């Protein structure tokens, strides 16, 4: 499930926005318009202090005392492309938990994985899973634990997980797979015993996902607003949860349609429970709360 992102190529709508954005309006308004055009995140004036706080270190590195100075540098000095990663990392939300919305993981273990294993039988292809808004990795590692537990209970099968996010900083944390022990509290004790290594000495209070699972999960940067995704079109199981709420209704429909296009026939898509209505259509049939199957 290879994924490569062309981080140097701005979205067409964002490129078209730049001359107009640089011509007038307040600095933060120009910045907010650029961010919304690129990745769909809306930044009302009330978010100004949050953005300034998250970019404080970067502004200091470049010698800018205020957010307005930094923004003027972006537009006036042609620094938008160079600063894309810093900007996107600063404005994206990274809320994530292990076993969040646990009914999805029960469905994954009880229904989605058995169906995918049956589809893959005789193909020499692994069961393919995708965490499409991976953040710091808790969702992807929960998926991995479920897959490993299913193999342990029913017999070995080949599987692989791709985990993507727009934010490169959280992807670095996700790859490390090291978490403070309180964050792992939702993982049942027997599963922690099998799939998590407790830190020792200088790493007391932290734990790491075991190598057996880390070998199965690959992380890559991906912007859900891109017109196309460099992914295979036979993915068995996709988690696209609690990210669509940050996009407009039109963007939500386009994203769900693109993601559905990468599902194998009969593949499963999980949305956040507050996003369930967004999954209507796009060759998807709802089969459980916030759970959809590709039916074409």
**Cβ atoms 290, 104 nearer than 8 A:** yes
What is the spatial distance between Cα 96 and Cα 242, in angstroms, rounded to a whole number? 9
Tell me: is residue 6 an annotated ligand-binding position.
no
Locus of tokens 């005392």: 65
The backbone region for 101, taken as left when phi is positive above 0, alpha when psi lies in -120 to 50, beta otherwise, is left
Tell me: is residue 167 an annotated ligand-binding position.
no
Tell me: is residue 142 an annotated ligand-binding position.
no
Tell me: is residue 100 an annotated ligand-binding position.
yes
Residue 54 is a catalytic residue: yes
DSSP 8-state symbol, 109 = I
The active-site residue out of 30, 48, 165, 236 is 165
- Burial tier of 68 (Cβ tally within 10 Å: 0-12, 13-18, 19+): middle
Retrieve residue 145's tokens. Answer: 């634990």
Retrieve residue 235's tokens. Answer: 């993915």
Tell me: is residue 96 an annotated ligand-binding position.
yes
| Of the candidates 47, 25, 29, the residue with the CA atom closest to the CA atom of residue 91 | 47
Helices (H), the chain: 12-23, 27-39, 48-54, 56-62, 67-76, 80-91, 102-107, 113-120, 138-154, 168-176, 189-195, 211-214, 249-261
DSSP 8-state symbol, 280 = S
Going by the annotation, the residues of the binding site for S-adenosyl-L-methionine are: 94, 96, 100, 139, 165, 223-224, 241-242
As annotated, the active-site residues are 54, 165
């Amino acid at each position: 499930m290879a994924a490569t992102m062309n981080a140097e190529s701005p979205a067409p709508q964002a490129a078209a926005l730049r001359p107009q954005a640089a011509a007038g309006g307040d600095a933060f308004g120009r910045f907010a318009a650029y961010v919304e055009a690129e990745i769909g995140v809306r930044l009302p004036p009330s978010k100004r202090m949050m953005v300034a706080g998250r970019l404080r270190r970067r502004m200091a590195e470049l010698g800018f005392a205020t957010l307005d100075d930094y923004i003027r540098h972006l537009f006036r000095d042609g620094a938008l492309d160079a600063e894309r990663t810093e900007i996107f990392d600063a404005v994206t939300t990274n809320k994530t938990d292990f076993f969040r919305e646990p009914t999805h993981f029960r469905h994954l273990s009880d229904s989605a994985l058995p169906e995918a294993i049956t589809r893959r039988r005789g193909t020499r292809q692994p069961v393919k899973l995708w965490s499409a808004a991976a953040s710091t990795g808790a969702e992807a590692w929960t998926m991995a634990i479920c897959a490993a537990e299913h193999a342990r209970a029913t017999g070995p099968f080949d599987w692989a997980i791709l985990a993507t996010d727009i934010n490169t900083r959280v992807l670095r944390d996700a790859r490390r797979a090291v978490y403070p022990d309180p964050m792992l509290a939702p993982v049942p004790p027997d599963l922690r015993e099998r799939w998590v290594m407790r830190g020792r000495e200088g790493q007391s209070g932290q734990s790491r996902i075991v190598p057996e699972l880390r070998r199965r999960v690959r992380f890559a940067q991906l912007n859900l607003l891109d017109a196309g995704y460099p992914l295979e079109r036979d993915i068995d199981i996709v988690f696209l949860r609690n990210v669509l709420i940050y996009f407009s209704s039109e963007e939500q429909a386009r994203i769900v349609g693109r993601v559905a296009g990468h599902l194998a026939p009969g593949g499963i898509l999980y949305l956040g429970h507050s996003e369930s209505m967004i999954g209507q259509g796009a060759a998807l049939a709802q089969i459980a709360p916030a759970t959809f199957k590709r039916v074409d």
